[in-house]
Amino acid sequence: MSTLDDDLANLATEASNPRYAELDRMSVAEIAAAMNEADATVPGAVSRALPQIVPAIEAASERMSRGGRLVYVGAGTPGRIAVVDASECPPTFSTPPELVFAIMAGGASAIVTPTEGAEDDADAGSAAIDEAGIGPLDTVIGIASSGRTPYVIAAIERARALGALTVGLSCNVDTALSAAAEFPIEVAVGPEVLTGSTRLKAGTAQKLVLNMFSTIVMVQQGKTYGSFMVDLKPTNHKLRDRAVRMVAEIAGVPRDEAEATLEGNDYDVKTSVLVLARGLSQAEAEARLAVAGGRLRPAMEGA
């Protein structure tokens, strides 16, 4: 067996748990309870990794405030989780698609069609970073449950050589990905219910961490007001209704007044809030937001 195979055999995420040795003999109810029990341990693992997570988010936020991007790199399940998280940023925060995006080993087709061999192509990982034009203001987060995926490690090494902020997110300890990244994050979830199936606890842990990254970075960029996503794009009935409720609550006005104001301001939540809460015209509200860098809080508190 090769050294690489030896490394895999020693990973906690590849180990079998005797607790599930009779999985195929268990009832549906027993398996569901076992999985639920296992999943309940994931938030604790993420909590233990917060001392690694917090400084990485702080550093990423600072770079984005200077014009940088947030870029995820992954293969297989981690890559698909990254695509899901990145794709939610434009509708939630009105960000351009190129501000937060994911690089998937095997390309876009690998999102729906498994291309498992792509994760072993280190040269492709490095080339993908060059193709994305990664630079010193960018943050690149490599995601690999094992922490030893060649495509992801090569991408992180290339991004770091180009001066980007690099983060390595894995679900094992003392990994090669951690060694390659400036900010290692290791969320040790242990063996899976289904041995080696890291789409389970490891995948859940990765989604929780990426939720933190994209959300907190956007909060730090002024994309929210309190807990309200005031930069959302109200492109359907549900989102328009959410916009109405936000404006009504923040500005302290009846729903019909909030809705009428939104309709008169191209459904821009922040402009509508300022019009109602501060008695401004649309032009005055837009000007105040411009001075505040698009942030509603200082625009509301300004003279």
Catalytic machinery residues: 88, 119
Q: 66 phi and psi, to 5 degrees?
A: -100, 10
Residue-wise over 262-297: b if at least 16 C-beta within 10 A, else e?
beebebbbbbbbbbbbeebebeebbebbeebebbbe
Q: DSSP letter at 17? A: -
**Region class of 197: left (phi > 0), else alpha (psi between -120 and 50), else beta:** beta
Report the alpha-carbon angle 193-197-201, nearest 5: 60
| Helix or strand holding residue 211 (H, E) | helix 201-220
List alpha helices for 66-180, DSSP H. Answer: 76-87, 89-93, 122-131, 150-161, 176-180
**b/e code 87-107 from CB counts within 10 Å (16+ = b):** ebbbebbbbeeebbbbbbbbe
- Residues 44 and 208: their CA atoms lie apart, in Å, by 11
How far apart CA 168 and CA 35 sit, in angstroms, is: 27
d(CA 270, CA 224): 10
**φ, ψ (nearest 5 deg) of residue 113:** -115, 110
